[in-house]
Chain A
């Protein structure tokens, strides 16, 4: 195969009349396979074991705390009257929001024929699924009596009762579980050809068996590819509105209630924009170190990062607009309770959280207007960390400030999380990272087949 002897190309510069390559370095099909499969085939570095050890311990802590919660009761959290939603719901919305980037990149960018998605879509989809897993944990344990979680679903039961289909909380059950299922199908279907690649390269018996089973006997038949591409397109077309619907329905949990600060029509678009915003920030947070460590910078180039920062500017600005519009409507709507809720949000006891949110979510992404910051990975990383923090605080501000000042002033209170709240949030990152590390080690981290299909063909013709 051709040796890799290309001079580095700055992929962030557009040359008129010429397409900037999506894969840098002198890669051909074989070396792309090599670069991706190497991760699963080479000897596992010690650093991976250390990282997995830390993450798995945190995950263990999360599950231990869940056990403690189930045995003791929800009183172990800081949830007290009137703030009964507290951190569990904040964490749920935070993780579900993060889980929007993957399917958005895979589905919407696919429909818009943004070929640069091929470098990041696999890892982003994996991240989506792991984030949705983390999100699913919280409402599951927040219901209090976990052993009755099946009441959430329309299952025939001894009480001859059915759930109330007019409740946004039930819509949420359907939305999140559908989203998790469809994302999983989408991710897995995308991986089948790449799992077949791993199967065909595997040398050990266990690897051959496992990858053989997972790849379902894929043999690269063009007749199969034909149906596969149709199915992929259809799934993308189905997943695209689904992505938008999920956070819309999550926002209904708040917006359909009567509570000042929640009862606003701007919530669905505002939540979706925020979800994409936080999801892209999390993808970048993960991929900037991962592409360095895994040595896939040729497949996941600076141009990929730059494109994603542009999405962050756009969605971050939308989020900023939504913050401003909430205030405008609170004044313009002339509702005294609404006005109070928003003034209290910005200048009341939670002002510190509000201004952390504004500075992280509205101000920090504006730094991406500067090209230098947009093209320097470590600077992107720092900004994305701020965005992640800001988006967690956004959910905190929405959930807690509104609840802590409800209609009955005698029950007003100041929310304080318990140590269990804090450790569970940290533990959920452990769960997330454990899954992500396992994925990096055992699964094809880049969609090889898709990258190959956007590479120039050996004959010199472009594959675009």
Chain B
């Protein structure tokens, strides 16, 4: 140990007696001896064994460690951090909405909460043990004793600290000898304070300086601006020869990068022309096919000015023929309505009407329509009532089916309305397959009929129901 450096000491200190070391070769003898040391009233002493000796804790009077409490605290901290982290990251800072599931739920938190609790508790156990034992402590005066090297092998030691109040070199030495050890020796402090070799200091300082460079560079770059593009360490797919969407190109004469469909393209599952009444509610397709897609806007509720701008935006393309229409905006909707009215709507159902279809229509109606239109079709569904209750200005009350206007509409037109929507009603075509739309139309007709029926034509069994008060 004293071979570290050959420099003359400035102050030649006297070596100081640090304590006494007694060696035993039998664990049972050590336990017996420990009891005597404890009973003699010594406090600053220790035993050293190559393995945990059971019974030594009582013999030495070692108090229970507080380590379990440290571990428990660390474990709880880990669990709290885990729950807090998951809540904050997935429900607050970056809400993850996955198939409408709640943003935060305990069951999904359990695995990570468990893992982090265990991780921090394990850190608590390991580092807590080291801290309470004041380890790592690479220098220990006991290590200078050659005999003590067997403390990790097959010998058992008692070390007595000179700082103990009861300690005296002669009395304590005699006392230890009376315990029948193999031998007793003294251990002394170093006269020379150990110093690191100069080369090592130099090397460590150099390493330290080099370690500062990367964070310093990062800090510099982060606090300054630059005109250069970022460095692509890994180019990923940042530079590709393919064309980006919505860009121009000179590959094609029209300069557009996105190619329109080739004429006559029919998307898969979209071939409808073999059954026009069924798919369109029309007897035959009109010349101007754009009309089919019209969803009537509400003429009264729209602010003319806004509508003006809106229409102007939408119809920039055909601005040339628009000027005549511009002052008469309220009429634009009326024109569209009349264009729709002129279409050759089917007036009969394009399939056989069955009881099964009626039941299906009722079921679908209640799922898709009744929320706004009401169960009876009066336009008093729960959503409507709520919107009216809120005096919600933008809400358009759905028309009752039981007005003459609606009653007169051909079934094809009703089918078209479900498909494309009308006023505030959105298009249900994408959600409801054609058969079901027809079934709904059928049920709608039945609802209308139920309001108009002559009481005498009702079958007797049904009439009884009307009479019953219960």
Contact = CB atoms under 8 A, between A and B. Distances in A.
Interface residues of B, number: 70
Nearest to B65: A227
B234 to A, nearest CB: 5
Given A165-B108, A171-B111, A218-B135, A226 B65 contact: yes
A324 interface: no
A242 B118 contact: yes
Interface in A165-201: 165-166, 168, 170-171, 174-175, 178, 181-182, 185-186, 189, 193, 196-197, 199-201
Given A174-B116, A221-B48, A234-B67, A197 B153 contact: yes
A396 B98 CA distance: 31
Contacts of B130: 216
Interface stretch (B121-129, B370-378, B419-427): B121-129
Given A171-B111, A200-B153, A238 B122 contact: yes
Contact of A33 (B53, B115, B119, B153): B153
B90 A217 contact: no
Contacts of B128: 231
Contacts of B25: 458
A161 B93 CA distance: 8
Interface string A354-375: 0000000000000000000000
Contact of A29 (B85, B135, B154): B154
Contact of B152 (A197, A216, A245, A458): A197
A186 B121 CA distance: 12
Interface string B96-133: 10100100010011011011101101110110111011
Contacts of B153: 29-30, 33, 197, 200-201
Given A29-B153, A175-B115, A162 B122 contact: no
Question: Which of B125, B149, B150, B234: most chain A Cβ within 10 A?
Answer: B125
Interface string A217-252: 111111111111111001100110110010001001
Nearest to B101: A166
Given A165-B90, A212-B138, A226-B62, A178 B115 contact: yes
B236 interface: yes
B460 to A, nearest CB: 47
Contacts of A234: 67-68, 71, 121, 125
A217 B115 contact: no
Given A216-B136, A219-B151, A234-B68, A245 B115 contact: yes
A230 B54 CA distance: 13
B118 A227 contact: no
A166 to B, nearest CB: 4
Contact of B119 (A182, A193, A461): A182
Contacts of A200: 149-153
A291 interface: no
A229 B52 contact: yes
B151 A220 contact: yes
Contacts of A224: 133, 135
B154 A33 contact: yes
Nearest to A193: B152
B126 A222 contact: no
Given A174-B112, A227-B129, A234-B67, A218 B152 contact: yes
B68 A222 contact: no
Contact of A231 (B53, B86, B98, B126): B126
A136 B276 CA distance: 61
B138 A217 contact: yes
A459 B26 contact: yes
A181 B115 CA distance: 11
Contacts of B136: 216-217
Interface string A307-327: 000000000000000000000
Contacts, number: 208
A150 interface: no
A111 interface: no
Contacts of A448: 50-51
Contact of B46 (A162, A221, A229): A221
Interface residues of A, number: 69
Interface in A22-52: 28-30, 33
A160 B52 contact: no
Contacts of B47: 221-222
Given A162-B94, A459-B28, A185 B108 contact: no
B51 A154 contact: no
A453 interface: yes
A335 interface: no
A145 interface: yes
B233 interface: yes
19 contacts: A33-B154, A145-B236, A160-B94, A166-B90, A170-B112, A174-B112, A181-B122, A216-B135, A217-B136, A222-B53, A222-B62, A226-B65, A228-B52, A230-B68, A231-B125, A234-B67, A238-B118, A249-B111, A458-B28
Interface of A: 1, 28-30, 33, 145, 147, 154, 160-166, 168, 170-171, 174-175, 178, 181-182, 185-186, 189, 193, 196-197, 199-201, 212-213, 216-231, 234-235, 238-239, 241-242, 245, 249, 252, 448-450, 452-453, 457-459, 461, 463
Counting from the closest, the 7 A-B pairs by CB-CB distance are A29-B154, A216-B136, A231-B129, A162-B89, A200-B149, A171-B111, A217-B137
Interface of B: 25-28, 46-54, 56-57, 60, 62, 65, 67-68, 71, 75, 85-86, 89-90, 93-94, 96, 98, 101, 105, 108-109, 111-112, 114-116, 118-119, 121-123, 125-126, 128-130, 132-133, 135-140, 142-143, 148-154, 157, 233-234, 236
